[in-house]
Structure 1
């Protein structure tokens, strides 16, 4: 599920909001030059955090290669780092891509109820095949 929201302009308030959304420490990573993906700082080591297939697929699509590790729990996508601190807004093209990848992953996961994948490698490949690339740029790079 994708939910849009606005972060405050002040960096310390942005961090507070991200910590609240992710329920703890925050790690942000650059998988795309116009966006960051933020996840809980302890990832799979944090109790109760499930693999976030949509976040993994989004990061893999943006990088142009299958990530060899998972992203766990809630993920928050922000715009890039600002020169004066904090995070910028997500542009419309990136926002639409986040929504499209999330929808594609949801459809694949739903199809597995009746037709489970043969194994993990096949599951990963199927998810990535279903994900659209970012329009206007190959894997988000210009």
Structure 2
């Protein structure tokens, strides 16, 4: 078991070079208590969260108004969502995102990141981060066009990490 039950994926746009102090995505333990969990997600995201489902066993929690806040585009999270969806998203994701397991049956909270997906998801996050850092020419303004070859290359590179 990887030892974490939630993964915080940060934007890399503010650090587009591969150096020893590059941003590290946080591996955390998801609180079990529904009341604590909601506040915890709010703190990790930096605002009100919205749950997105591109994978049936995972939930991605993102800022509900990241574009207008404005938060930095999250190329890594966009790439993961595109891999899970099976095609490039036609919209951007902004700010940090938290990956957890699916919603609980009672609808009050989320399950921990399943152990069988924790290591796999971390590998994908690292692969996407490496790709975007090495191709930082696409990051400064992130002119989003999922038909551009660079975006598809990021998806293919990340999918290979599986």
* TM-score category (smaller protein): 0.7 to 0.9
Q: Is the CA contact 1:105–1:127 (under 8 Å) kept in the aligned structure 2? A: yes
1:131 aligns with 2:158: yes
Partner of 2:67: 44
SS in 2 for 1:4: strand
Partner of 2:92: 70
Q: Is the CA contact 2:77–2:93 (under 8 Å) kept in the aligned structure 1? A: yes
SS in 1 for 2:92: coil
- Report how far residue 22 of structure 1 moved: 1.0
Output aligned runs, 1:98-137, within 5 Å.
98-112=121-135, 116=137, 120=145, 121-132=148-159
1:2 and 1:72, CA in 2 relative to 1: closer, same or farther beyond 3 A? same
1:89 aligns with 2:116: no
Q: Which runs of 5+ in 1 are unaligned?
A: 136-142
SS in 1 for 2:67: helix
Residue of structure 1 aligned with 2:36, choices 13, 22, 26: 13
SS in 2 for 1:37: strand
1:4 and 1:86, CA in 2 relative to 1: closer, same or farther beyond 3 A? same
The CA RMSD measured in Å over matched residues stands at 1.9
Deviations 1:89-121 (A, max 9, x none): 1112321222112211222123225xx46x851
Q: Which runs of 5+ in 2 are unaligned?
A: 1-23
The structure with higher relative contact order (CA 8 Å, sep 6+) is 2
Deviations 1:69-99 (A, max 9, x none): 1111000001101112210011123212221
TM-score, normalisation: structure 2: 0.73
Partner of 1:140: none
